[in-house]
Amino acid sequence: MNKTEKLIVALLVLLLCGAFYSSYSNNRKQAEWRAAHPASSRPAPAAAAPAAATAHAAPAAAARPEPEADSGRPEELFVFSNDVARVAFTSKGGAIRSVTLPGFDRTLDPADGPVELAFAGAPTLALAGIPGLGAGADFAVEEAAPGLVRMTAENADGLRLVRTVALTNGFHFAVRDVFSSKDGAPVAVPAFRVALGGIRSVAPTDKDADMGVDAALDGETPEMTLSSALRDGAPSIAGLFGTKGGGCSAATVSPAAPMTRREELAGSVGWVGVRERFFAQVLTPAVPGAGVAAAVSRKPTAPGAALALDSVGAELLVAPQERGDGTLVCDYSLYAGPRKMSELRKEGRDHLAVMRFGTWSFFCRYLLDLLNAIHALVPSYGLAIIILTVLVRLVLYPFTRKSTESMKKMQELQPKIKALQEKYKDDKRKLQQEQMKLYAEAKVNPLYSCLPMLIQLPVFIALFMVLRTSVELRHESFLWIRDLSEPENLFRDTLGFGLNLLPIGMAVTMTLQSRLTPSAGDPSQQKMMTVFMPIMMLVMCYPFASALGLYWVVSQAIAIAGLWRARRKGRPASFTQADGTEVIPPERETRQMRRERERRAEKSF
């Protein structure tokens, strides 16, 4: 392998590793983050065995109160609806027990009903830290006006809470809490928490649940806080359970690890959210909060001792407040619905971090916007992906053409390069100089051959991130594919395992493309890449969403068509022999022809 080939391989490896670099670096920055953000880790309330508390000192405002005693009255549920959601309010705590989304089927069978976000632990919007107004308090619930729910309660100290929730903006709910005292006396509200009820994976068998907690803390990028992967030193969900994970390595957990964990971070909080693969909750206060807490539980058993999360919940920490005029108002915006970029934009541009696009977020957003724009013109997301693939190939065409031309010229120069290597085998510096001189005379840049791969790699990674969690593709069918967001899984009941045709087609098209691509390297290396790379991609991409396989197969097919056309275009014209027989030269150069050509080139050199 010469220096140019080594450089190309090194660049590709660096690009592949770059997408996961932030995950690696976070492990090193854990201590710095924790030193800057005082935290405490306590077990979340659950039936499982409690976890041992860590040695971090919690800030005074974040001290967690004991669970509030229930009044003993039975819970009542009140269901109110708008055009996209049915919201079940509970009289216990004046909070939201569940949100049902009629526009999203729970499974591929509509008879199984719509998606229901049933919140584990404390219901969403339940308060903690204010005696008599927490999750165990009894609230009077009524519909104050169409689309406006009012809930009222008063504690033993005469502190009255009137909460109103407006359901008029789709998945976005406007929440207002008004605290007031008797006779207009000054209002003093202690530090309290506002809960985001624990969210579970909508598909219990989903191996790619992508569950986690996100928050905008101290102006930091929201993607750098609590998550299921290590990011820039922030405490990770994997770290809470005494393990590491993310990037190329899966997180495994000890059987002795606690079943539930709790982590608190102090700081100015712009918003906090909890998510699973396709759905999320986001709470945005009008005035930044004083901190954020995450309550996470894991499943007791998982294959290979993997860390499999059962639910992820969060709380917004609010500092103590006083008002001398007898009334204190706290406003919030609550989002409960799909992880859909067009909807999250309505909450704020930085809320797009809930999409978890990672390093390539800027690129992923443009691709998803383009995919949705195409779908607005065609009736199928499968067709939209094919059109997107064609557009990507058109954008890359100038680079692909330049690369093909460069590889052809490099192939023609191989005999001269081999002669130079033999002539200057004892003088590496002179050999490099002569090679560069030869490239300059032939107007060849060896790096052009890797341009399409270098450019297409970010596209592939970005599409992987987009197609993996895009709720738009959930339960979308195309041809034999039942769900573009999942592997094909054909004949699963008959074979006992799912057969995925698209990854197999991807490996086949990669092999064909490698055979058609002009090669200037060693034949044994070319053979290894022709066999090894397709097999590696088949194994790696076999469980991926079928939408990604569809993109890659179509992209490879377009590339093969271009290479075949280039070979046909460069094919020598037919000629007629003396006996009148028309001879058409073979399209593919034989080994004997190649040796003869190289021998003539060496003599001319």
Instruction: Encode pLDDT of 464-496 as tens digits.
Output: 888 877 898 888 889 998 888 888 888 877 777
- Res 103 pLDDT > 60: yes
Q: Which of 540, 538, 544 is nearest to 489 (CA)?
A: 544
Cα separation, 239 vs 213, whole angstroms: 13
| Neighbouring-strand partners of residue 164 | 150, 176
Residue 581 has pLDDT above 50, yes or no: no
Q: What is the mean pLDDT of residues 527-550?
A: 79
3-state DSSP assignment of residue 290: strand
User: For the chain, first and last CA: distance in Å?
Assistant: 23
Higher pLDDT residue, 286 or 303?
286
pLDDT confidence of 254, banded at 50, 70, 90?
Answer: confident
Q: Highest-confidence range of 288-302, 511-525, 586-600, by mean pLDDT?
A: 288-302
Residue 148 backbone dihedrals phi, psi, to 5 degrees: -125, 115
Supply the pLDDT for residue 387: 93
Comparing CA positions, the residue from 513, 565, 507 lying closest to residue 540 is: 507
pLDDT of 216 strictly over 90 = no
Task: Identify the top-confidence range among 36-50, 202-216, 322-336, 499-513.
Answer: 322-336
Residue 203 and residue 209: Cα distance in Å, rounded?
A: 8
User: How would residue 2 be classed by pLDDT, with cut points 50, 70 and 90?
Assistant: very low
Banded model confidence at residue 63, pLDDT cuts 50, 70, 90: very low
Whether residue 251 is predicted with pLDDT greater than 80 in this model: the reply is: no
pLDDT at 47: 33
Least confident span in 275-284, 294-303, 439-448, 521-530: 521-530
In this prediction, residue 287 has a pLDDT band, given cuts at 50, 70 and 90, of: very high
Give the SS3 label for residue 506: helix
**pLDDT at residue 564, rounded to an integer:** 77
Arithmetic mean of pLDDT over the chain: 76
Identify the residue with better confidence: 58 or 120.
120
Identify the band that residue 602 occupies on the pLDDT scale cut at 50, 70 and 90.
low
Query: 373 and 385 in contact (C-beta within 8 Å)?
Result: no
User: With a threshold of 0.85, does the pTM exceed it?
Assistant: no
Span of 80-89, 250-259, 465-474 with lowest mean pLDDT: 250-259
Q: At what angle do helices 591-604 and 381-423 cross, to 10 degrees?
A: 50
Q: Which amino acid, residue 120?
A: A
pLDDT score for 595: 65
Longest dimension (CA), the chain: 118
Strand pairing category for 127-128 and 192-199: antiparallel
Encode pLDDT of 387-410 as tens digits: 998 998 888 777 777 776 777 777
Give 262's pLDDT tier (boundaries 50, 70, 90): confident
pLDDT(270) > 70: yes
Gap between the Cα atoms of 187 and 139, Å rounded:
20
Q: Are strands 148-154 and 140-145 parallel, antiparallel or unpaired?
A: antiparallel
- Residue 60 pLDDT more than 80? no
DSSP, collapsed to helix, strand or coil, labels residue 373 as helix
Structure confidence by residue, pLDDT tens digits, 105-136: 998 888 889 999 999 778 999 999 999 999 88
The predicted structure's pLDDT at residue 516: 72
Share of the chain above pLDDT 70, in %: 71
Which CATH number is associated with domain 39-349? 2.70.98.90
Q: Where are the domains of the chain?
A: 39-349, 377-566
Q: Is 311 helix (H, G, I), strand (E, B) or coil?
A: strand
Q: C-alpha distances in angstroms, 299 versus 276, 286, 296?
A: 15, 35, 10
What is the predicted pLDDT for the residue at 77? 92
Amino acid at 61: A
Strands 575-576 and 187-189: unpaired
Contact in structure between 268 and 64 (CB atoms under 8 Å): no
Integer Cα distance of 225 and 237 in angstroms = 10
For residue 553 the two structure tokens come to 């197969």
- Residue 187 in this model has a pLDDT that exceeds 70: yes
The pLDDT of residue 36 is above 70: no
Amino acid residing at 575: F
pLDDT for position 302:
67
- Please determine, for residue 26, whether its predicted confidence score (pLDDT) is greater than 50: no
Residue 163 vs residues 153, 170, 287: alpha-carbon distances, Å? 9, 19, 17
Instruction: Examine the pLDDT at 16 and tell me if it is beyond 60.
Output: no
Quote the pLDDT of residue 430. Answer: 79
Q: Is the distance from CB of 560 to CB of 552 less than 8 angstroms?
A: no
Task: State which H helix or E strand residue 541 sits in.
Answer: helix 523-541
Residue-level pLDDT at 360: 74
Q: What is the pLDDT of residue 69?
A: 63
Helix (H) / strand (E) containing 402: helix 381-423
> How would residue 590 be classed by pLDDT, with cut points 50, 70 and 90?
low
Contacts of 206 (CB under 8 A, 6+ apart): 277
